[in-house]
Amino acid sequence: MATITFAGYGVWNNTNDVTSKVTQQYANGERKFIANNGDYGDPSPGDRKYLYIVWSFNGSTNSGVVGENDDRGIIVP
C-alpha cells in the first residue's frame, strides 16, 4: 500500500493542497485519480488545472501529474 505524501491541484501559483482529499480517496479504494474541479475545487477559474501526487511505495518515492479531465489519470498502486 502506498503512502500519499503530497497532492496539489491547480496551475501557476493558484494551487490547492488536496493531500487530505486524495489520501481519503485512496483509503476508500480509489487507485486512479482524475484531475477535475468537482473533486478538488477550482483554484484558477478559466485555466486548465493539473493534479500532481507524490507517494512512497516499497521504499521509493514516486510522483505523477495529469491535466484536467484527462481520463488517463494518475495510477497510485
State residue 32's pLDDT score. Answer: 98
CA 6, CA 9: separation in Å to the nearest integer? 10
CA 6, CA 21: separation in Å to the nearest integer? 10
* pLDDT interval class at 28 (50, 70, 90): very high
Provide the residue range defining the domain that includes 33.
Answer: 3-75
* pLDDT interval class at 50 (50, 70, 90): very high
Q: How many domains does the chain have?
A: 1
Q: What is the pTM of this model?
A: 0.94
State residue 4's pLDDT score. Answer: 98
Percent of the chain with pLDDT over 90: 100
Whether the Cβ atoms of residue 27 and residue 46 lie closer than 8 Å to each other: no
State residue 48's pLDDT score. Answer: 98
